[in-house]
Chains A and B, each alone.
Chain A
Amino acid sequence: MKLSSGTIRLIIPAASLVLLLAAVFYMQPRAMSYTGLNLLFNLAVPIALATIAQMLIMSVNDLDLSMGTFVSFCACVSATFLQSSPALGILIFLGAIAAYALIGVVIYVRDLPSIVVTLGMSFVWGGLAVLILPSPGGTAPTWARWLMTAKPPLVPMAIVASILIAAVTHCIVMRSSFGVLMRGVGGNDRSVERAGWSVLGLRAATYALAGFFAVLAGIALVGLTTSADANIALRYTLLSIAGVILGGGQFVGGKVSPIGAVIGALTLTLAGSFLSFMRISPDWQIGAQGAILIVVLALRLALNRLEKREKSE
């Protein structure tokens, strides 16, 4: 059986997730249950959604440094407006998604570096979040709370949600014609342009879609935490980038993998639990997370070499 290169690229993230999970089960057998799994992966859902959003931006060769503050902003809106007056909340979210599309257009039209524009936007979203919730507070909308704490039979919600996110985004990015064009913009935007497509429109749509997933991440986060504050998701910027890379995505060339990105997000979440089960002193937890990142990427390099050798034979 011949494996496609896309499948091979998924093996390492999947294998490292399984390995990490096995280690966690070995150290804490009680985690091997419905509740255990749910607790382990609960926080992965918003991270997975943010990672997908970052992946969409990366598929057109850009990078979004405002992801963390934007998700925080969305969480603040969810805990306030979306809860008290849903119509206004939805309107704000539509405006935010339109702002994302506009950023995509401006970056392309003026040929600006995406990291700087999104860096500037991160101040804007952060400021808006502070204006909405100057101190931690707010209440999660009942339905978001219900959705995130739902207990489907057999498989915990966190797993169901992750699979659902992976499946839906796989269809959008890998199976739909829009997804092909989007990745085409990342690969070679000039040839997409010459084939008669509007790169401008495609980039706007990609950014809007990324904004949409980031909004979902904010709602999911508030559904879990029940309240929000302006700094709730700041670390999502770096987590989402690391998740995409861990899942086999690349910074340039439109090479991304939605399933990989979700697996990457799950791996990063699990790494945190793994370290607390290892009873590593809190001083070294961040460092160990960095080390895990390095080890997984080193494994990927080894596999890439293997793949290349097979090709040349």
Chain B
Amino acid sequence: MTLHHLLMAKPWIWSFAATITVWIVTVLFTGGASSFGLSQAALTFAAFSVVVGIGQMFVITLGPGNIDLSVPATMTLSGTLALKLMDVQDGMIVVGLLASIGIGLIIGIGNYVLIKALRIPPIIATLSMSFIVQSVAIWSNRGLRIKPPETLADFATSSLFGIPNVALVALILSIAAWVLLEKSIYGRWISAIGQSTFAARMAGIPVDGTRLVTYMLCAVLASVCGYLLASFSGGAALNMGSEYLLMSIAVVVIGGTAVAGGNSNIPGIWGASLFMFLVVSMLNTYGFGAGFRLILTGLIIIAVILLAGGRQSLR
């Protein structure tokens, strides 16, 4: 019974258990030869999902209907413009980072203005916004592939004590997000709004301000992730964000954050991000074709949700 309680109190255990299982299965298949490389690749690629996932998690915590679909477009625009601005000069790295944060802030404000002023459901507001942002990215990109400054590219692709730098950045951001969520008044506010917006308003919580900050935070994390991803992959591409739309939602939900809002979970995002990457690489290792790989990925996502969802219905 105590084990059961532990599982209910710590929903992220599921995603980590699944991750470890998949890791062991993959490493066993390759006879242990790949364990270091696999772990490093998993940490690197999970880091990008974690950064966007945290932003999406804050938005989803706000309650039913809150979701940010402009994440991929924001990543693309930020990556494109930041690299263009830096123009391969090492001295411009900080300026580029600040510019991408600025882009995130503007998109976040734009999103919330649409949601609030026009009372458009967030899913449609952020979708329309992403169309516009995507257009700006297409217009500014012009099919050119600008390289990142060398120092930045080195930083993004190298590692410290065997841990990839991008994973360390994601870790720092996660700790900051955890403090924000668990120890700050802002974190309590978003949970309260997610549980009942009406009650939160009655309790005197500045609901609109909090929601605005949350959408801005999500857009900023997405643009920082775009900046990192563009530096890591040696240039921005117009479709670089596309897979992160579904990924950002999937890692949040598999990680044990309640989709109905009001209850979020940061360790789970790490578990889920690692899991999502490892599943794909496991299926690759076993030599499945693209079709089977997609089908199995889908079935595994549903299986994890079925397992993890069961604990809620037990209550």
A241 at the interface (CB under 8 A from B): yes
The interface residues of chain B lying within 8 Å CB-to-CB of A250 are 121
Knowing A116-B253, A122-B246 touch, does A286 contact B131 (C-beta < 8 A)?
Answer: yes
B177 within 8 A of A: no
Nearest A residue to B312 via CB reads A111
**Cβ–Cβ contact B135 & A120, under 8 A:** no
* Chain B contacts for A121, CB-based, 8 A: 298, 302
The SS class assigned to the A binding surface is: helix
B51 within 8 Å of A (CB atoms): no
A104 CB to nearest B CB, Å:
14
Q: Which of B279-309 contact A (CB under 8 A)?
A: 289-299, 301-302, 305-306, 309
Residue B17 at the chain A interface, CB threshold 8 Å: no
The range of chain A's interface size is 35 or more
CA A12 to CA B89, docked complex, whole Å: 52
| Cβ A242 vs Cβ B299 within 8 A | no
Contact (Cβ within 8 A) A128 B306: no
Cβ of B206 within 8 Å of any chain A Cβ, yes or no, is no
Of the candidate stretches B21-29, B30-38, B112-120, B187-195, the one touching chain A is B112-120
Main secondary structure of the interface of B (DSSP, over half): helix
Does A301 lie within 8 Å of B128, measured CB to CB?
A: no
A232-269 interface with B by 8 A CB criterion: 238, 241-242, 245, 250-252
Mask of A129-149 contacts with B, CB within 8 angstroms, 1/0? 111001000000000000000
B124 CB–A CB distance under 8 Å:
yes
Question: Known: A116-B249, A122-B298, A251-B123. Is A284-B135 also a contact (CB below 8 A)?
Answer: yes
Which residue in A117, A122, A287 is a CB contact (below 8 Å) of B305? A117
B91 within 8 A of A: no
Complex-state Cα separation, A126 to B296, whole angstroms: 11
Q: Is the CB of B131 within 8 A of A290?
A: yes
**Chain B binder among A80-88, A180-188, A211-219, A292-300:** A292-300
The answer to the question of A31 belonging to the interface, with a C-beta cut-off of 8 Å to chain B, is: no
Q: Which residues of B contact A65 (CB under 8 A)?
A: 246
- Whether A241 contacts B123 by the Cβ 8 Å rule is yes
Known: A134-B291, A251-B65. A119 touches B138 (CB 8 A): no
Using known A-B contacts A131-B291, A131-B292, determine if residue A116 contacts B259 with beta carbons closer than 8 Å: yes
Additional pairs, 8, CB under 8 Å, beyond known A112-B305, A251-B65, A298-B118: A106-B306, A113-B259, A120-B298, A127-B290, A128-B295, A130-B289, A284-B139, A294-B120
* A contact set with B: CB distance below 8 Å: 63, 65, 106, 110-113, 115-117, 119-131, 134, 238, 241-242, 245, 250-252, 281, 283-291, 293-294, 297-298, 301
Q: Which 7 A-B pairs have the closest CB atoms?
A: A287-B135, A290-B131, A123-B298, A127-B294, A127-B295, A131-B291, A113-B259
